[in-house]
Amino acid sequence: MSVLLQQLANGVIQGALIALIALGYTMVYGIIQLINFAHGEVFMVASYGGLATFTLLPDDLKKSPAVALPLMFVGGIVVAVVVAVIMERFAYRPLRGAPRLAPLITALGVSVFLQEAVRVWYPNATSNLPYPKVFPEGNLTLGSVNIAWTGVLLVALSVGLSVILQTYINKSRMGRAMRATAQDPDTAKLMGVNPDRVIVLTFIIGAVLAGVAGVMFGGYLNNINIDMGFQNGIFAFTAAVLGGVGSIRGAVIGAFIIGLIKTLSGQYMPGGTQYDYVWIFVVLILVLVFRPQGLFGEPERVRA
Amino acid sequence: MSTVDSSAKRSALAPLGKPFAIAGGVLAIVAALLPWVTFSLNDGNWPDKSTLQFFDAPFLVTGFRWHLLVLGVLVLIAAFAPIPSRGRVVRALGWGVALVSFVNAAYITVKGGGLGAITALDGATAFGGVVGIVAGVLVILAGYGIGVEPVQDWNVKVSTPVAYLVLLVSFGAVLYAVAAMLTTGGVGTANPYAGAIFLSFLGFAAGLLAALSGVGFVRWLSALSEQHRVFSVIVLAACALLLPFTEAGNEYWMTVAANIGIYAATAIGLNIVVGLAGLLDLGYVAFMGIGALVAANFSGAATAHFGITLPFPVAAVIAAIVAGIFGAVVGSPTLRVRGDYLAIVTLAFGEIFTRSAQNNIGGITNGSNAIPGIPALSLFGAEFNRSISIGAVKLPAGVLYYILIVLLVAATMAVFANLKFSRIGRAWIAIREDEDAARAMGIRTGKMKILAFLIGAMLAGLAGAVFAHKNGTVSYESFKFLESVTLLAAVILGGMGSIPGAVLGAALLFVLPEKLRDFEEYRLMIFGLALILIMRFRPQGLIPDRHRRAELANEDVGGAPVDEVHVGPKEAKA
């Protein structure tokens, strides 16, 4: 029983991480129907950005987590946003209106490029890099279940940011513009919405969330590597599809389901953790085949 | 530098077109006759006697200086001769001059430790590189000044013997070019400047080929070979089989060529799925892996799971069938899933394969230990990895593998070509263009799509079986996501739906790393960048299929641009 509870807790934390990334996928897909394959790499780059920020800090600041941690978040987010904006401007925007496969292939190229750029240019990026210990340490103990404080922080950030995002999209003027562009870009344009601005903003929001996720990933797992983007990107994409692409609530709930599937299948399914990855893909395929609109999407896709 | 605002530039440049072309052509010739390096570099003299101390016979040019001389003369000819679409030809030659000069100058600058190496140092002057680059830029501008018109069709009718002769000479030239491309710069790391020599040669070849294509020759030739299909196929096959007798005929290049052939065959299979049926498959290399694993397990290798040893042809057929079954299974979601969602399903299947193989599922993949020691093929007692002699001619080791693989590629090409022009192929193309319309026309789309996956997977499985025996080891490492992306890139780079395109794409993507060991670190990065740039500037690929070009580059089927292609893709105007 305690094993089950522990794995449930781990699954929720995994899910919180995946949710932060999945939101970026779901929003971009909702607006321009592009599977932004490179979004996972934005998350990875953000993690390295946070690490680089810490490395560049003066020694006395490194010792005070209260200053270093927020600065790392800022550093990670800035790097993620810059990469995402450049990517949108130079790789995706010229291809608007091209056949659907063209931007998808471009996204693959961006993904490979970013991963390699970090591997080649970031010092020692070929091996796992340790993340600095500026996060709250220790565990929250509830009965027999131990939850790291970083995990608690991750869940809080993830849920909090999703709620803020949902409110922003439903209530603000820009959010209305986003929903309008997602429903009908041409009519939205006639109503005075600038689609370029909406799209860039979508990428920026996705990057900010990925930035938070990147730094928290380092804090929770204590080390990072260049493969983390691809793997978690796939998980997040699966979550977005499971929840119904374009739906924010769906992406978050889908992410928690994926997180739970990962930890529980690693524990209870044959093959153990070596095959947890495979079960997620099986779920992905089953969802795509039998309910491509996802759990919360309507057959005619509703977008963010 | 050339695509920023070409309409404005053209009007300003128009009167300067011819003078620029003449000046650029003359400068290119001058550059070929000038020294290029002021001193001898650490790794040895720059090739082709272009280092100042060794610059004893300026008019005896070889290598890249000879290429430059040829390009310069051609520019002068193009400037005066009444040839069709002159601007396009001149621009192509200009790019050739610029690339050759830039590659050499850049390498010399970096290896020589500064600009002094290509300009003046200690009283010695060597301005070849600078003059060459200036010449290249001038000629490119001249091309825009003359005006880049669309390629024209030639209406030259020739009698059958003349056509045969033209085809024979052209394919012979292709054979020569392939052999030269393989061997330039020497084997492996023997020559410190191999990368520069190769890139420079590539620049020359690209410029020349683009000029030939610009003048309409390539289009005419392909129409001609289409008319005399049987003859062209025979000549092409003969050319491929003659490669071991050229300077590329040693064990090293036979191995490289054989590997290219395996990937080319796989790329043609992928081209059926992606290029014809328009179904993006991101896990395609898994089928090759399945084929390789099946063949390895029936090969009699020590770690093979089944205790049975089957002769290679039987094992290869089983490999193809097993891969085909998996292909049909992977393809079955196409009944319900479309477009980019389908791409994700195939990616998921690919990842499941990699993961399962890594974990030694069912004991048949041997996990990360791989299956080593797969015996080499043999035929009538001749082992495929030994050298053989026919009469007095001794052929290098690996030549039998090369021949086997040429036959494999020829077979896949035949399958592809026959399918493409059959009822099935037309159905695939119809599905690619508009699935709903295709269904309305009575095509059973579901069946057709699964068939595309099945045939593509079978071809990959067959190539995988050859791969297993050729390399002697099968490990899941050879069949990961990145290999799928590389194959996809080969198909896209060459041109989706086009047979020569797939071969060219595979050749480029698998030869370049062999040649550019200097950039080994950056290989994948350049590769990612290349994907982005191709999609942006030439989505139809290097050798586009006619219909594909119409769809991707806003040209009509005859090739006339609906919208000027080279100005750069239309931006979505807000």
Tell me whether B339 touches chain A (CB under 8 Å): yes
Q: pLDDT value at position A21?
A: 95
Tell me: the pLDDT tens digits for A199-228? 999 999 999 999 999 999 998 988 899 889
ipTM for this model: 0.87
Contact state of A106 with B532 under an 8 Å Cβ cutoff: yes
Provide CATH 1.10.3470 ranges for chain B.
Answer: 251-510
Residue B43, pLDDT > 90, answer: no
Mutation choice for B interface testing from A90, A116, A277 by most B CBs within 10 A: A116
Q: Which two structure tokens, joined as six digits, stand for B47? A: 């090739």
What 3-state DSSP class applies to B394?
A: strand
Within 8 A of A100 by CB-CB distance, chain B residues are: 339-340
Q: pLDDT value at position B102?
A: 92
* CA dihedral of B104, B109, B110, B116, whole degrees rounded to 10: 160
What 3-state DSSP class applies to B209?
A: helix
Instruction: Report the C-alpha gap between B91 and B131 in whole angstroms.
Output: 17
Q: A301 lies in a domain?
A: no
Contact state of A241 with B343 under an 8 Å Cβ cutoff: no
**pLDDT tier at B391, thresholds 50, 70, 90:** low
**Residue numbers of B between 242 and 301 with CB closer than 8 Å to A:** 278, 280, 282
Q: pLDDT value at position B355?
A: 86
Mutation choice for A interface testing from B271, B274, B326, B344 by most A CBs within 10 A: B344
CATH number at residue A149: 1.10.3470
**pLDDT tier at A298, thresholds 50, 70, 90:** low
Tell me: the pLDDT tens digits for A66-87? 888 999 999 999 999 999 999 9
Tell me: the pLDDT tens digits for B249-296? 777 788 888 888 899 999 999 999 988 888 888 889 999 999 999 998
Q: What does the pLDDT average to over B208-216? A: 87
Give the Cβ contact number of residue B561 at 10 Å.
16
Q: pLDDT value at position A97?
A: 78
Tell me whether B492 touches chain A (CB under 8 Å): yes
Contact state of A109 with B574 under an 8 Å Cβ cutoff: no
Within 8 A of B330 by CB-CB distance, chain A residues are: none
**Residue numbers of B between 428 and 487 with CB closer than 8 Å to A:** 481-482, 485
Least confident span in B157-171, B413-427, B447-461, B508-522 = B508-522
Tell me: the pLDDT tens digits for B64-94? 888 999 999 999 998 888 888 888 889 999 9
**Average pLDDT of chain B to the nearest whole number:** 82
Residue A31, pLDDT > 60, answer: yes
Backbone angles phi and psi of B277, in degrees to 5? -85, -10
**pLDDT tier at B566, thresholds 50, 70, 90:** very low
Q: What does the pLDDT average to over B498-504? A: 83
Give, as one character, the DSSP assignment of residue B272: I
Residue B9, pLDDT > 60, answer: no
Q: pLDDT value at position B500?
A: 81
Least confident span in B70-84, B171-185, B455-469, B484-498 = B171-185
Q: pLDDT value at position A303?
A: 40
Give the Cβ contact number of residue B57 at 10 Å.
9
| Nearest CB partner across the interface for B344, out of A35, A96, A195 | A35
Contact state of B530 with A109 under an 8 Å Cβ cutoff: yes
| Nearest CB partner across the interface for B351, out of A110, A196, A281 | A281
Least confident span in A292-301, B75-84, B424-433 = A292-301
Tell me whether B362 touches chain A (CB under 8 Å): no
Give, as one character, the DSSP assignment of residue B286: H
Q: A264 lies in a domain?
A: yes
Q: Which two structure tokens, joined as six digits, stand for A277? A: 């990855």
Q: pLDDT value at position B553?
A: 56
A130 DSSP β-pair partners: A223
In percent, how much of chain A has pLDDT > 70? 97
Residue B101, pLDDT > 70, answer: yes
Q: pLDDT value at position A156?
A: 94
**Average pLDDT of chain A to the nearest whole number:** 88
Residue A190, pLDDT > 70, answer: yes
Q: What does the pLDDT average to over B462-490? A: 88
Least confident span in A172-181, B308-317, B332-341 = B332-341
Give the Cβ contact number of residue B34 at 10 Å.
21
Q: What does the pLDDT average to over A148-175? A: 92
Q: pLDDT value at position A154?
A: 92
Handedness of CA A62, A64, A69, A71 (dihedral sign): negative
Instruction: Report the C-alpha gap between B381 and B376 in whole angstroms.
Output: 11
**pLDDT tier at B567, thresholds 50, 70, 90:** very low
What distances in angstroms separate CA A48 from CA A127, A128, A132, A157, B268, one per listed residue? 13, 11, 12, 20, 39
Tell me whether B562 touches chain A (CB under 8 Å): no
Within 8 A of B485 by CB-CB distance, chain A residues are: 108, 112
Q: Assign residue B122 a region: left if phi > 0, alpha if psi is -120 to 50, beta otherwise?
A: left
Q: pLDDT value at position B97?
A: 93
**pLDDT tier at B456, thresholds 50, 70, 90:** very high
Tell me: the pLDDT tens digits for B52-61? 777 777 777 8
Q: pLDDT value at position A301?
A: 44
**pLDDT tier at A231, thresholds 50, 70, 90:** confident
Residue B174, pLDDT > 90, answer: no
Within 8 A of B574 by CB-CB distance, chain A residues are: 189, 194-196
Strand B124-125 relative to strand B120-121, pairing: antiparallel
Instruction: Report the C-alpha gap between B297 and B357 in whole angstroms.
Output: 13
**More confident position, B116 or A110:** A110
Contact state of A292 with B278 under an 8 Å Cβ cutoff: no
Tell me whether B497 touches chain A (CB under 8 Å): no
Residue B238, pLDDT > 50, answer: yes
Residue B99, pLDDT > 70, answer: yes
**pLDDT tier at A3, thresholds 50, 70, 90:** confident
Instruction: Report the C-alpha gap between B421 and B417 in whole angstroms.
Output: 6
Q: What does the pLDDT average to over B313-342? A: 87
Helix pair angle (B399-420, B229-242), 10° resolution: 160
Q: How many domains does chain A have?
A: 1
Least confident span in B113-117, B237-241, B258-262 = B113-117
**pLDDT tier at A176, thresholds 50, 70, 90:** very high
What 3-state DSSP class applies to B281?
A: coil
**pLDDT tier at B549, thresholds 50, 70, 90:** low
**pLDDT tier at A23, thresholds 50, 70, 90:** very high
Q: Residue A88's domain spans which residues?
A: 2-290
Q: pLDDT value at position B284?
A: 92
CATH number of B251-510: 1.10.3470
| Nearest CB partner across the interface for A95, out of B358, B492, B536 | B536
Contact state of A288 with B345 under an 8 Å Cβ cutoff: yes
Helix pair angle (A248-268, A2-32), 10° resolution: 140
Single-letter amino acid code for the residue at A171: K
Residue B558, pLDDT > 70, answer: no
**pLDDT tier at A184, thresholds 50, 70, 90:** confident
Nearest CA to B290 among B352, B333, B335, B348? Answer: B352
Within 8 A of A284 by CB-CB distance, chain B residues are: 344-345, 348
**More confident position, B382 or A290:** A290
Q: What does the pLDDT average to over B155-168? A: 84
End-to-end CA distance of chain A: 39
Contact state of B349 with A101 under an 8 Å Cβ cutoff: no
Mutation choice for B interface testing from A36, A241, A281 by most B CBs within 10 A: A281
**More confident position, B372 or A181:** A181
**pLDDT tier at A304, thresholds 50, 70, 90:** very low
Within 8 A of B336 by CB-CB distance, chain A residues are: 289-290, 292
**pLDDT tier at B185, thresholds 50, 70, 90:** low
A145 DSSP β-pair partners: A142
Secondary structure in 3-state letters for chain A: CHHHHHHHHHHHHHHHHHHHHHHHHHHHHHHHCCCCCCHHHHHHHHHHHHHHHHHHCCHHHHCCHHHHHHHHHHHHHHHHHHHHHHHHHHHHHHHCCCCCHHHHHHHHHHHHHHHHHHHHHCCCCCCCEECCCCCCCCEEEECCEEEEHHHHHHHHHHHHHHHHHHHHHHHCHHHHHHHHHHHCHHHHHHCCCCHHHHHHHHHHHHHHHHHHHHHHHHHHHCEECCCHHHHHHHHHHHHHHHHCCCCHHHHHHHHHHHHHHHHHHHHHCCCHHHHHHHHHHHHHHHHHHHCCCCCCCCCCCCCC
What are A103-106's contacts with CB under 8 Å, separation 24+?
A: A103/A34, A103/B535, A104/A34, A104/A35, A104/A37, A104/B280, A104/B340, A104/B343, A105/B280, A105/B488, A105/B492, A105/B531, A105/B535, A106/B531, A106/B532, A106/B535, A106/B536
Instruction: Report the C-alpha gap between A169 and A171 in whole angstroms.
Output: 6
Tell me: the pLDDT tens digits for A235-255? 898 888 888 878 888 999 999
What distances in angstroms separate CA B244 from CA B113, B178, B226, B262, B513, one per listed residue? 40, 12, 27, 17, 22
